[in-house]
Amino acid sequence: MIKLIVGLGNPGLQYEKTRHNAGFLFLDGLVCDVGEKWLSAAQFQGEMANISVRGNKLMLLKPMTFMNRSGMSVGKLLRYYKINPDEMLVVHDELDLPAGVIRLKRDGGHAGHNGVRDIIAHANSKDFYRLRVGIGRPPQGANVADYVLSDLSVRELGAMHEVFRSVMSRVDQVLTGEIQAFNSVQV
């Protein structure tokens, strides 16, 4: 059962609505939906919220260390609360999935995602769940860093929020790690 959900992104207004902030956007919507607020958690270099979803108590974390150093924040929290990596879900953007596609996965490598890479290093484990939010690839010849750090259009942002609402309608499958059941439904 998931006890901690980590959303990956970068702090600051200039990154707020970028593709790379898909994890932050997901958690911000979740916190808003349940009527909670983010609190500064300086000891974990992040923002935290404690919520209850369908009777399940969850800790939420947005690392404020910038994407490539997310593991510092996550590792500190895992050790302090004695949470096992397999009780954690990391929500992040995914270039290898088309925009609008979302997949649940457990274990595996980082697939070039520096935030996930840093979490693996600081958690000393690859054994955690990932909610991969498809953002698609940039056009041929475009710079990947510029693409992931560019703002989503109003249409793209609306579509992403629709996908997130679909995830929340199946939150039980996410929290219990029912990968096949979750991934069998097309969004």
- Domain ranges in the chain are 4-183
Low-confidence ranges of the chain (pLDDT < 70): 186-187
Active-site annotation holder among 20, 92, 113, 122? 20
CATH architecture, range 4-183: 3-Layer(aba) Sandwich (3.40)
Please name the residue ranges forming H helices in 6-47. Answer: 22-33
Please check whether residue 3 is in contact with residue 59, taking contact to mean a CB–CB distance below 8 angstroms: yes
Three-state DSSP at 63 gives strand
pLDDT at 186: 65
Helix (H) or strand (E) holding 45: none
Query: Is 20 noted as a catalytic residue in this protein?
Result: yes
Sheet holding 4-7, edge to edge: 39-41, 46-53, 56-63, 4-7, 88-94, 129-134, 102-106
Give the separation between CA 156 and CA 10, rounded to whole angstroms.
19
Residue (of 19, 8, 52) closest to 142 by Cα position? 19
Look-up: residue for tokens 């942002």?
157
Three-state DSSP at 96 gives coil
pLDDT at 112: 81
pLDDT at 162: 93
Judged by phi (left if over 0) then psi (alpha if -120 to 50, else beta), residue 147 lies in alpha
Please name the residue ranges forming H helices in the chain. Answer: 22-33, 70-81, 114-123, 144-148, 154-169, 171-175, 179-183
Helix (H) or strand (E) holding 65: none
pTM of the model: 0.95
pLDDT digits (tens, 9 = 90+) for 43-88: 999 999 999 988 889 999 999 999 999 999 999 999 999 999 999 9
Name residues whose C-beta falls within 8 Å of residue 96's C-beta, 6 or more positions apart in sequence: 111, 134, 137
pLDDT at 56: 87
